[in-house]
Structure 1
Amino acid sequence: MTTRVGYFPNNNSLFVLRHRGLLERRLPGVEWVDLRSLPAAAPVEVKTALPTLHSDWLFEPGGYDFVGTGFTPPVTGLAHGRDLVYVGISGPRVENGRLVVRDGSPIETVADLRGRRVGIAHGSWQTTLLLFALDKAGLSWSDIEPVDTAVHDGPAAFLGGELDAWVGAYPALGGVERETAVRTLIETDGLFSHPSLWFTRRDFAEHHRDELTAIVASLQESDAWIVAHPREAARYFAEDEGAASESDVDRWEHALRNRPFGLHPVGEDFLDEQRRAAELLAANGLLPRAADPRAAVLPWLNELLAEPAG
């Protein structure tokens, strides 16, 4: 059979695995699906909805059987009734990004964001970070003007003054920091753990255990290689951007060195975070309901990931 694996640069682990060819040695029938080549999701109103692209293509013909994303997409899929299950999570990625303003901005605290334009890649972990930050400050989603900057449009909008604040992530945030002085409004650390997630359909997990086991083993092997060879891994990302200078490689190497690699079991603390996110997203009108993430956990997958890699 053919196993279709979705990948894109934002999930660093799958992107490097695609380039290294390790999975093909364990799973000859693998087919890689570049998420950037799939039709874009229908536009959504940033004030009232979250996009469901990742979970949609998990269940659509021509989509994929396995994918890795950030914190928010699987919560969104579950809330829309998608029968997906978690395969594993990374360690916390609290150094990956944060909510910033330009140095000299009159915005001193998150509470000052009321009525302000805040840039996020809507539907990603950035939506959750911003919502957690607002809730901590006693604000709701309706108190701000969220702006969907996608992943790559944020720097230009922030530098151009179109945004009052921005949830930036490395390496893009690093590029902005070289252009201008920024001030951190709130760190990710202490707000939520912000791991990567890998997930699949329940039917695939139930009927293709060998294929999932091969994917997990290959990701673990590839992630160990990234940790040992971050500069070589960084070249894959720089070249994908069409930016092969050593400074571009430096930028990506810095980002990779500050990210955790390896897949881990889905634990209770993480599930509590996901449940809280689901409840807040639903309460603020961004999801139709608050689905329970514990329904997406399969014990055998947690047992697999609890075993020593090898």
Structure 2
Amino acid sequence: MTVRVGYFPHNNSLFVLRHTGILERRLPDVEWVDLRELPSKPPVDPTNALPTLHSDWLFEDGGYDVIGTGFTPPITGLAHDRDLVYIGISGPRVENGRLVVKAESGIESVEDLRGKRVGIAHGSWQTTLLLFALDRAGLTWSDIVPVDTDVRAGGAELVSGTIDAWVGAYPGLADVEADHELRTLVETDGLFSHPSLWFTRRDFAESNSAQLRAVVEALQESDAWIETHPREAAQFFVDDVERRGGTASLDAWEAALRGRPFGINPVTEQFLDEQQRAADLLLANGLLPRSIRIRDAVVSEIGEFVAADRAAV
């Protein structure tokens, strides 16, 4: 059978795996689905909705069987009745990004964001970071003006004044830091663990356990290669940007990869508690259609073989 793997640069592990050929040595029939080339969905209003793009294509023809994303997408999928299950998580990525403003903005704290325009890639981990930060400060989603921004382009919007604050991530955040003084309002560290994560459909996991395990084993091998060859891995991202007519710094991408954890681990109780807290806050702030129980998306057998494969690396 053909195993369809969805990938894009924001999940570094799958993006590198796409270019190494490691998975193809385990599975004879792999179809790589570039998420950036799937038909686009209508834009969402970040004041009252979360997009379901990642989970939509997991359950639609022409989509994929396995996907890796940031923290928020599986929560959204579960809330829209997608029968997905977790595969595993990375270690904490607390150095990957944070909530920033321009130093001269006059904004000193999260409390000062009341009524301000805050840029996020809505529906990604950035939505969760901002919501956790607001909740800790005693604010709600309706107290700010959320603005849906591109992961990299949000920096230019912050500099131009289109937005007042931005949840930035590396390497895009490094581009802004090079030329502008920023003030950090909230570090990711201490707020939530911010892992990468991978998930699939329950029916795929139940019917194709050997293929799923092959994907996990290939990711473990590829991630180990990234850790020992970060500059070579960074070149894949630079080449991709340049093919699309842009420019990118090899040094910045290498630094970004060196600062991120690699390897897939089983989901933990701490992670599941964080996911549940995020789901409950998203619901309370009008960003989810219904309440969900995160632990319904856990399959113990998957955790067992992810743990075994991790120990074998």
Question: What's the TM-score, normalizing by structure 1?
Answer: 0.98
- Per-residue deviation at 1:247? 7.3
- Per-residue deviation at 1:289? 1.6
User: Does structure 1 residue 292 correspond to structure 2 residue 293?
Assistant: yes
Return the alpha-carbon distance in structure 2 between the equivalents of residues 199 and 82 of structure 1: 11
- Per-residue deviation at 1:39? 1.0
- Per-residue deviation at 1:150? 2.2
Return the alpha-carbon distance in structure 2 between the equivalents of residues 140 and 46 of structure 1: 13
What residue in structure 1 maps to residue 271 of structure 2? 270
What residue in structure 1 maps to residue 195 of structure 2? 195
User: Does structure 1 residue 130 correspond to structure 2 residue 130?
Assistant: yes
Instruction: Pick which of 297-306 and 90-99 moved more.
Output: 297-306
The answer for unaligned runs of 5 or more in structure 1 is none
Letter aligned with residue 284 of structure 1: N
Instruction: Pick which of 300-309 and 95-104 moved more.
Output: 300-309
Per-residue CA deviation, residues 52-103 of structure 1 (Å, 9 max, x unaligned), is 0000000000000000000000000001110000000000000000000001
What residue in structure 1 maps to residue 105 of structure 2? 105
Per-residue CA deviation, residues 257-297 of structure 1 (Å, 9 max, x unaligned), is 00000000001000000000000000000001221111111
SS in structure 1 of the partner of residue 198 of structure 2: strand
Distance 1:16 1:207, change over 3 A: same
Per-residue CA deviation, residues 287-308 of structure 1 (Å, 9 max, x unaligned), is 0122111111111111112111
CA contact (8 A) 1:24 1:30 kept: yes
SS in structure 2 of the partner of residue 242 of structure 1: helix
Which residue among 301, 305, 312 is the counterpart of 1:309?
A: 312
User: Does structure 1 residue 94 correspond to structure 2 residue 94?
Assistant: yes
Letter aligned with residue 279 of structure 1: D
- Per-residue deviation at 1:45? 1.3
Which 4+ stretches in 1 moved above 4 angstroms? 243-247
User: Does structure 1 residue 8 correspond to structure 2 residue 11?
Assistant: no
- Per-residue deviation at 1:309? 2.7
What residue in structure 2 maps to residue 116 of structure 1? 116
Distance 1:285 1:161, change over 3 A: same
Letter aligned with residue 275 of structure 2: Q
What residue in structure 2 maps to residue 25 of structure 1? 25
Return the alpha-carbon distance in structure 2 between the equivalents of residues 234 and 18 of structure 1: 13
- Per-residue deviation at 1:255? 0.4
Return the alpha-carbon distance in structure 2 between the equivalents of residues 59 and 41 of structure 1: 15
User: Does structure 1 residue 254 correspond to structure 2 residue 240?
Assistant: no
Return the alpha-carbon distance in structure 2 between the equivalents of residues 227 and 306 of structure 1: 19
Return the alpha-carbon distance in structure 2 between the equivalents of residues 225 and 80 of structure 1: 36
SS in structure 1 of the partner of residue 312 of structure 2: coil
Letter aligned with residue 5 of structure 1: V
CA contact (8 A) 1:99 1:185 kept: yes
The answer for unaligned runs of 5 or more in structure 2 is none
CA contact (8 A) 1:275 1:290 kept: no
What residue in structure 2 maps to residue 241 of structure 1? 241
What residue in structure 1 maps to residue 231 of structure 2? 231
Return the alpha-carbon distance in structure 2 between the equivalents of residues 240 and 14 of structure 1: 14
Identity %: 69
Aligned ranges for residues 49-64 of structure 1 at < 5 Å? 49-64=49-64
CA contact (8 A) 2:241 2:247 kept: no
CA contact (8 A) 1:171 1:255 kept: yes
- Per-residue deviation at 1:194? 0.4
Return the alpha-carbon distance in structure 1 between the equivalents of residues 128 and 105 of structure 2: 23
What residue in structure 1 maps to residue 183 of structure 2? 183
What residue in structure 2 maps to residue 149 of structure 1? 149
Return the alpha-carbon distance in structure 1 between the equivalents of residues 54 and 195 of structure 2: 16
What residue in structure 2 maps to residue 44 of structure 1? 44
Return the alpha-carbon distance in structure 1 between the equivalents of residues 42 and 283 of structure 2: 20
Return the alpha-carbon distance in structure 1 between the equivalents of residues 156 and 109 of structure 2: 23
CA contact (8 A) 1:22 1:218 kept: yes
Letter aligned with residue 166 of structure 1: W
Per-residue CA deviation, residues 21-61 of structure 1 (Å, 9 max, x unaligned), is 10000001110000000011221111000000000000000
CA RMSD of aligned residues (A): 1.4
SS in structure 2 of the partner of residue 98 of structure 1: strand
Return the alpha-carbon distance in structure 2 between the equivalents of residues 299 and 247 of structure 1: 41
Letter aligned with residue 180 of structure 1: H
CA contact (8 A) 1:11 1:68 kept: yes
Distance 1:267 1:155, change over 3 A: same
- Per-residue deviation at 1:246? 11
What residue in structure 2 maps to residue 167 of structure 1? 167
- Per-residue deviation at 1:152? 2.8
Number of paired residues? 310
CA contact (8 A) 1:118 1:147 kept: yes
